[in-house]
């Protein structure tokens, strides 16, 4: 589904990604972990071209998005949901409007269809009574669940999660991870950058360790956590587990 070849990204003098080759299949749940500054968020953000790669190609469902024009890129982004660390809900719109804005603006649904879909999604994320609230009235965990619902409203083929629980108070992490787990069980293709090792162990079909702009090791969660090979990974795991 996503095919990454020779991906490099530099910010000024700083080479953040030093050549990444990776393939993500439909239905996979790939969890990316690694120390901060390892390039894992940049890698994720390159997948939907939030960051423009300096070098390399990214094939999404067969077409090279690094060579797409704006219009093609927008079409592809509809198929790739993204969930941000800081939620990035639209504070001037109600929750329902947050969810329906894109499908309606893009002409995929009428407002009525989108409203109905929004209510279904709110039911699914466990916040059916928040349709007419504004983002500022919600807790962090609730905001992130709405952000996930907003992405799902576009019926994406893949969901990208950029440290979705890092900005949350500890007691709210669980509700978001639970929702992500449900999504995974429903068969969504997911790429998740996170520090939640429990989630990686439980939900991932594959765990990836990134450091210094490269993927140093990847494996099934069981092997990854029980039998790490790379010394950097061992050191990292010893610190976080």
Partner 1 sequence: MGFVESFKQNFIEEDRWHYLVNGLGTTLLITLFAVLIGMVLGFIIAIIRFTHDKTGKMVIPNIICKVYLTVIRGTPVVVQLLIIYFVIFASVPISKIFVAIIAFGINSGAYVAEIVRSGIASIDDGQFEAGRSLGLNYRQTMTSIILPQAFKNVLPALANECIVLLKETSVSGYIAVQDLTKGGDIIRSQTYSAFMPLISVAIIYLVMVVVLTHFVTKLERRLRQSDRR
Binding site for partner 1 (CB under 8 A): 48, 50, 70-71, 74-75, 77-78, 80-82, 84, 86, 88-94, 101-102, 105-106, 134-137, 147, 150-151, 154
| Least gap, CB of 159 to partner 1 (angstroms) | 11
Write down the least CB distance from residue 72 to partner 1, Å. 11
Q: Which residues sit opposite 193 in a β-bridge?
A: 32, 162
Beta carbon nearer to partner 1, 131 or 237: 131
Inter-residue contact 66 to 53 (CB < 8 Å):
yes
Output the smallest distance, CB 42 to partner 1, in A.
Answer: 13
Cα–Cα nearest to 14, from 38, 46, 50: 38
- Please say which residue, 104 or 215, places its beta carbon nearer to partner 1: 104
What is the closest distance, in whole angstroms, from the C-beta atom of residue 154 to partner 1 in the complex?
A: 6
- Is the CB of 154 or the CB of 216 nearer to partner 1? 154
Are the C-beta atoms of residues 5 and 56 closer than 8 Å to each other? yes
**Beta-carbon neighbour count of residue 88 at 10 Å?**
14
**Residue whose CB is less far from partner 1, 75 or 240:** 75
Q: Give least dist CB 152 to partner 1, A.
A: 11
d(CA 30, CA 25): 9
Are 85 and 166 in contact, with CB atoms under 8 Å apart? Answer: yes
Please compute, for residue 226, the number of CA atoms within 13 A of its CA located in the half-sphere on the CB side. Answer: 5
Cβ-based nearer residue to partner 1, 85 or 205: 85
Residue with smaller CB distance to partner 1, 132 or 226 = 132
Question: Smallest distance from the beta carbon of 66 to partner 1, in angstroms?
Answer: 16
Chain-centroid distance of CA 206 in Å reads: 15
Closer residue to partner 1 in complex, CB, 159/207: 159
Give min distance, CB of 167 to partner 1, in A.
11
């Amino acid at each position: 589904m996503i095919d990454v070849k020779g991906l490099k990204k530099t910010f000024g003098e700083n080479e953040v990604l030093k050549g990444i080759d990776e393939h993500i299949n439909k239905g996979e749940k790939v969890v990316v972990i690694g120390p901060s500054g390892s390039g894992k968020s940049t890698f994720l953000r390159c997948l939907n071209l939030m960051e423009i790669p300096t070098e390399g190609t990214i094939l999404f469902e067969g077409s090279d998005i690094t060579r797409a024009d704006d219009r093609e890129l927008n079409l592809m982004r509809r198929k790739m949901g993204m969930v941000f660390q800081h939620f990035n809900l639209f504070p001037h719109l109600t929750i329902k409007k947050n969810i329906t804005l894109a499908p309606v603006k893009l002409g995929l649904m009428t407002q009525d269809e989108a409203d109905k879909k929004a209510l279904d999604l709110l039911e699914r994320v466990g916040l059916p009574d928040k349709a007419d609230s504004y983002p500022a009235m919600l807790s962090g965990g609730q905001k992130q669940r709405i952000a996930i619902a907003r992405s799902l409203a576009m019926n994406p083929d893949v969901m990208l999660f950029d440290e979705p629980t890092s900005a949350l108070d500890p007691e709210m992490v669980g509700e978001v991870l639970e929702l992500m787990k449900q999504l995974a069980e429903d068969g969504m293709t997911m790429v998740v950058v996170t520090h939640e090792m429990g989630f990686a162990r439980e939900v991932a079909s594959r765990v990836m360790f990134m450091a210094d702009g490269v993927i140093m090791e990847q494996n099934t969660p069981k092997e990854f956590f029980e039998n790490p090979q790379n010394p950097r990974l061992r050191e990292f795991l010893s610190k976080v587990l």
